[in-house]
Structure 1
């Protein structure tokens, strides 16, 4: 088996990168409700050929998921899990992300408030309570019966909320666009499974090139289904309908590849040379694909994916240089809660806002609804969420799929 590191269970550079991404995601989510901010601080429309730093946040999350995959799988292998048991774990984690994503996206839109038995803020708060019951990391000192009972209550609660949900014309919950977490779940399932397969049968070098070719093939599939008549073939229509999933999975695989280049012993001796070569190839491919494919996050185009991977490589390279080469680590403590407990920090703003909705309290004062004041509010809001996340983490509340 190919080990990504000798024995470390966590890598500070990866944790810090994850923390930065989660912090930025909380910031831009709050910023989305602010008027009169520069366009470079907003998502670009689907038909605009370009991207802002906001359009980089989601692919950066995908990328860091990929960087973590080799360590997560190796940790399970070290415990004696078989390949089948590891795949079951990947599938269950993916299912959890998809389920939470679908519930969250239905809480945001598609509901008929008048037909619901309870208010939408209460429905949303209950949903997150049940999510916490199912996926919280219970202490080992707690009775297994109590842990199992709490999880079963959570499952029953989500089923109840699904039954209560009413959309237009008495419809129920729909997948809509799966939500951010749902899209991550699908990409993780595809990329994690592919990595697990190559890990069983390939040497480190062969594995690297196999994953690179698979990632390019997934991006190529976008062209095949989008630019040719293949999408009209009945058996391929399902793939065409979910074209973005292929691109998202390719971004995850790119994270896997960079993680291997930095931390797999077989590549450690020439780490920096390999990093420069990989990053250079990615940016060349990005510019090449841009000639035939516009940059669009909404459409999940190949050029957007490749430019996103390039920027992620550059950012991670800078983090690695500061943390591991220069040993500048004091500043990393701020990102610790979102690094080690990312799902909790991600859902905290939604929990806070649903509580405010129940109480009839508008959290953001009107003065901060636009312009520079709104930007500063969003930064402050993200910092407060980080502090709350740190406190809850110290209290032992951890959410882990």
Structure 2
């Protein structure tokens, strides 16, 4: 029987506190695809469907689906993570503080990564940008690594403090060509995920105030629609382009990003909430059809563009993510074909580490002068095969580091 928290939130029998294999596999495949696409971006002479489409082209490739897939899987994890904290009787305000801290961490890492990639003036900095980047990732590992219980308390507390001090010092010595320091630029992938997670997880926490699972699902659906309408309104009304409100116009993409996160949350609610009737696979199929219908309607009013984060792009992304998840769900939970899932386990349980590994290797390569990718693999089919092999290698290295006890967790 469901028990309610003092603040009206459920603490029992909402979602399992155990890991869900199909969600883990989806996360692992998405991280693998991210690493593959990032490496492929440096390869020339590859088919257009393996590259991002320009902002003004009405359409999307599979590469344009990778980022929203990660947003979607972040959303699917929210109900389970929230349930685990409610089960430990954490008050909603403490859960919200955790959401804030997690979002802040993603935004900080995203901003540092963006500034490591561009906008710097090496001549005005005391150390090469490659060394600056390596030290930055070292600080990230010190702050956000998960330390086992047997590690002394002094290390658990001291290392994160050292990492924070290190980031502050790295920010202080950073210079851009205009004579200033670090700037947000475009927040970076992790920063965009952080903002979207902050909005979506906060709205989900509010939805838990509803009396039952169906009402919560309806509130989540209303929030998804509201976020997309908010984006459309800001995009259409010229008033938001004025200097006073330009910051909102510049960051309106965050609303559709948050809508994708909430769409993942809604699917998890429909499929895994024990009080909602129906078979999981059928509900995923119905959800995908509803998303497709909404996408086709939205397409009549706005073009599909990942760069502009249009509602039609978001809705088509939700549809494709639902179809992919339906396939994974069918294979892993209905057919019980699960041995192959071990391939994606490192990226599933330690996604942030696997994601940043290539950037660490790239910085190390630049610092040592050793070019990691041979010239033979810089173009065409050879480059595509290299990118696939590189992504597999990152999973293997991630697996070894995970077994060695290195876990990065916000």
TM over 0.5: yes
**Could you tell me which of 179, 187, 190 is aligned with 1:170?**
179
Match of 1:72 in 2: 81
4+ aligned runs moved over 6 Å, structure 1: none
Task: State the 1:234 CA deviation.
Answer: 7.2
Which residue of 2 is the match for residue 248 of structure 1?
257
- The 2-side partners of 1:113 and 1:137 are apart by 33
SS of 1:267's equivalent in the other structure is: coil
Alignment of 1:32 onto 2:41: yes
The 1:294–1:354 alpha-carbon spacing in structure 2 relative to 1, beyond 3 Å, is same
Query: Does 1:267 find its partner at 2:288?
Result: no
Partner in structure 2 of residue 393 of structure 1: 402
1:196 equivalent among 195, 200, 205: 205
Q: Which residue of 1 aligns with 2:215?
A: 206
Q: Give 1:74 shift.
A: 0.5
Q: CA deviation at 1:227?
A: 1.4
Q: 1:359 to 1:235 in 2, by over 3 A?
A: closer
Moved more, 263-272 or 197-206: 263-272
Residue 170 of structure 1 aligns to a residue whose secondary structure is coil
Following the alignment from structure 2 to structure 1, what is the Cα–Cα distance between the partners of residues 204 and 104? 18
User: Which consecutive residues of structure 1, in runs of 5 or more, have no partner in the other structure?
Assistant: none
Q: 1:366 aligns with which of 362, 369, 375?
A: 375
Distance 2:241 2:251 in 1: 14
When you count helix as a share of all residues, which structure comes out higher?
Answer: 1
Distance across 1 between alignment mates of 2:312 and 2:278: 31
- Partner-residue secondary structure (3-state), 1:297: coil
Query: What SS class does the counterpart of residue 358 from structure 1 fall into?
Result: helix
Cα deviation, 1:274-317, whole Å, max 9, x if unaligned, reads 32322111101101111110100000000000000000000000
Counterpart contact for 2:45–2:380, Cα < 8 Å: yes
**Kindly tell me: are residues 144 and 272 of structure 1, through their superposed partners in 2, closer, same or farther at Cα, counting changes over 3 Å?**
same
Residue aligned with 2:55, SS: coil
Q: Is the alpha carbon distance of 1:164 and 1:317 closer, same or farther for their aligned partners in structure 2, counting shifts above 3 Å?
A: same
Q: Which runs of 5+ in 2 are unaligned?
A: 1-9
More divergent stretch after superposition (139-148 vs 379-388): 139-148
Corresponding residue SS for 1:201 = coil
1:303-347 deviation digits (Å, cap 9, x = unpaired): 000000000000000000000000000100010000000000000
Cα distance in structure 2, aligned partners of 1:237 and 1:214? 23
Question: How far does the alpha carbon of each residue in 1:15-39 deviate from its partner, in whole angstroms, 9 at most, with x for none?
Answer: 0000000000000000000000000
Distance, in Å, in 2 between the alignment partners of 1:70 and 1:4 is 12
Structure 1 position 113 matched with structure 2 position 110: no
1-side partners of 2:156 and 2:299: how far apart? 51
TM-score normalised by length of structure 2: 0.95
Q: Tell me how far apart the structure 1 counterparts of residues 401 and 170 of structure 2 sit (CA, whole Å).
A: 26
Query: 1:57 aligned to 2:71?
Result: no
Counterparts of 1:314 and 1:267, CA distance in 2: 21
What's the CA shift for 1:243?
A: 0.7
Deviations 1:130-181 (A, max 9, x none): 0000000001111112211101100000000000101012110000000000
| Selected match of 1:300 from 298, 309, 314 | 309
Tell me, yes or no, if structure 1 residue 134 matches structure 2 residue 143.
yes
Match of 1:88 in 2: 97
| 1:185-244 residue CA offsets vs partner (Å, 9 max, x unmatched) | 000000000001111234111110111011011001111111124525777543222110
RMSD: 1.4
Q: What is the aligned length? A: 401
Counterpart selection for 1:20 from 29, 34, 37? 29
Contact 1:66 1:254 in 2 (8 A): yes
Contact 2:15-2:83 at 8 Å conserved across structures: no
Report the secondary structure of 2:151's partner residue: coil
How many angstroms apart in 2 are the aligned matches of 1:4 and 1:157? 43
In 1, the alpha carbon distance for the partners of 2:387 and 2:201 equals: 34
Secondary structure of the residue aligned to 1:169 is coil
- Provide the rounded CA distance (Å) in 2 between the counterparts of 1:169 and 1:230: 30
The partner residue of 2:299 within 271, 290, 297 is 290
Equivalent residue for 1:48? 57
**Structure 1 Cα separation of the partners of residues 179 and 158 of structure 2:** 32
